[in-house]
């Protein structure tokens, strides 16, 4: 058409890009702070400790946690998820500290509930911070991860968190049947209003490295491939989705996010439930490192990476950039 000198160019897509206002009218996907969940690390110590494995982020004592929650809430962040670094002497092979009503996470929940009542509080359900073997489940003598025995502890962990004030329980352990079992346990304890955000398609990913450094929670032996998904698989995510829907999940997650945009899209097209995605520590760190070297512009690349995750179909994004994004978008 454009080669033909007698026919003018009728379709000019650039007309829809001609000014900021027109581009605003035509934009298909937007990123708002309401889409974001901010992951926060806490520890037993009183003070706060900048994380060398996750530059820009900090491990907080309880006072520091409340201060940080108050700070980000004022920036417009509405939801946070808590990750505890548990002292070595509290870790056991059965991870029982996970269900201690006076443990670090329940104490943090009670303080946040009282001092930041406007925040939606999300908690992680898995044994790795509490397990002396560093696995998300209980490890048998022969190295197998025991599924059903683990689910029993996860149910007690979830009920403990709900009693302490969690709004949303997020099982990240990848044991079979845990969503239904946790739903039953929550309901039996009267927590019908507490939601379950399931890590539906959580991959055995090398991008979790900096997170495990932040919590000292790397597996002592073996890897997580018998419970986390194979990075080559996308159809399998739909099988996990069907199970989680049937078991009563309220939201479903894909993790990591950036390298798995096709999986986010597949879930988005297959379920009416809200889809979440976790931009994990390694994804954050790649952008941070490139920005620190002067190779990439942190703000534009971080915002573009998050917009891409939204465009793929995620409503909810867990990201360590959340406080910065709140400032950038303000």
Residues in contact with ligand PBG by CB under 6 A are: 124, 126, 128, 136, 172, 208, 211-212, 224, 280-281
Say if CB 65 and CB 73 are below 8 A apart.
no
Establish whether 202 is a catalytic residue: yes
Nearer to ligand PBG, 219 or 270 (CB): 219
Query: Residue 218 CB, nearest distance to ligand PBG (Å)?
Result: 8
DSSP 5-50: TTS-----GGGGGSSHHHHHHH------GGGEEEEEEEESSSS-EE
Nearer to ligand PBG, 124 or 133 (CB): 124
Residue nearest to ligand PBG (CB): 211
**Cα 299–chain centre separation:** 21
Q: Of these residues, 91, 202, 224, 288, which one is catalytic? A: 202
Query: Residue 1 CB, nearest distance to ligand PBG (Å)?
Result: 49
Nearer to ligand PBG, 195 or 217 (CB): 217
Nearer to ligand PBG, 11 or 52 (CB): 52
Query: Residue 145 CB, nearest distance to ligand PBG (Å)?
Result: 12
Nearer to ligand PBG, 24 or 88 (CB): 88
* Alpha carbons 255 and 128: distance in angstroms, whole number: 17
Nearer to ligand PBG, 49 or 270 (CB): 49
* Alpha carbons 152 and 163: distance in angstroms, whole number: 17
Say if CB 284 and CB 320 are below 8 A apart.
yes
* Alpha carbons 103 and 99: distance in angstroms, whole number: 8
Query: Residue 215 CB, nearest distance to ligand PBG (Å)?
Result: 8
Query: Residue 38 CB, nearest distance to ligand PBG (Å)?
Result: 12
Query: Residue 128 CB, nearest distance to ligand PBG (Å)?
Result: 5
Question: How many Cβ atoms sit within 10 Å of the Cβ of residue 230?
Answer: 9
Cβ neighbors of 172 (< 8 A, separation 6 or more) are 124, 125, 126, 136, 199, 202, 255
**147 exposure class (CB count in 10 Å sphere: 0-12, 13-18, 19+):** middle
Say if CB 109 and CB 117 are below 8 A apart.
no
Establish whether 288 is a catalytic residue: no
SS3 state of residue 185: helix
H-run or E-run covering 138: strand 138-139
* Alpha carbons 254 and 260: distance in angstroms, whole number: 8
Q: Of these residues, 91, 224, 255, 288, which one is catalytic? A: 255
Residue 242 φ then ψ, to 5°: -60, -40
Catalytic positions are 202, 255
């Amino acid at each position: 058409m454009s080669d033909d000198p007698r026919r003018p160019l009728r379709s000019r897509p650039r007309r829809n890009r001609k000014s900021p206002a027109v581009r605003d009218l035509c934009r298909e996907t937007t990123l708002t702070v309401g889409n974001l969940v901010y992951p926060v690390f806490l520890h037993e110590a009183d003070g706060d400790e900048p994380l060398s494995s996750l530059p820009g982020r900090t491990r907080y004592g309880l006072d520091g946690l409340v201060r940080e929650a108050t700070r980000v809430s004022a920036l417009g962040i509405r939801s946070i998820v808590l990750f505890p670094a548990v002292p070595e002497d509290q870790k056991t092979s059965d991870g029982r500290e996970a269900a201690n009503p006076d443990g670090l996470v329940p104490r943090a929940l009670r303080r946040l509930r009282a001092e930041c009542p406007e925040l939606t509080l999300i908690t992680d359900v898995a044994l790795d911070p509490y397990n002396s073997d560093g696995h998300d489940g209980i490890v048998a003598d022969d190295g197998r991860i025991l599924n059903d025995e683990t689910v029993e502890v996860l149910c007690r962990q979830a009920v403990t968190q709900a009693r302490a004030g969690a709004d949303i329980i997020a099982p990240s352990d990848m044991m079979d049947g845990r969503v239904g079992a946790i739903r039953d346990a929550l309901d039996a304890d009267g927590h019908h209003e507490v939601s379950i955000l399931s890590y539906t398609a959580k991959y055995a990913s090398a991008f979790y490295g900096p997170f495990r450094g932040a919590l000292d929670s790397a597996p002592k032996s073996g890897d997580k491939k018998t419970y986390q998904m194979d990075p080559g698989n996308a159809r399998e995510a739909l099988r996990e989705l069907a199970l989680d829907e049937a078991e009563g999940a309220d939201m479903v997650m894909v993790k990591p996010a950036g390298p798995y945009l096709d999986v986010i899209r597949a879930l988005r097209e297959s379920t009416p439930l809200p889809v979440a995605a976790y931009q994990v520590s390694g994804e954050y760190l790649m952008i941070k490192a490139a920005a620190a070297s002067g190779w990439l512009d942190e703000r534009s690349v971080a915002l573009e990476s998050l917009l891409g995750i939204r465009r793929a179909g995620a409503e909810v994004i867990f990201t360590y950039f959340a406080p910065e994004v709140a400032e950038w978008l303000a």
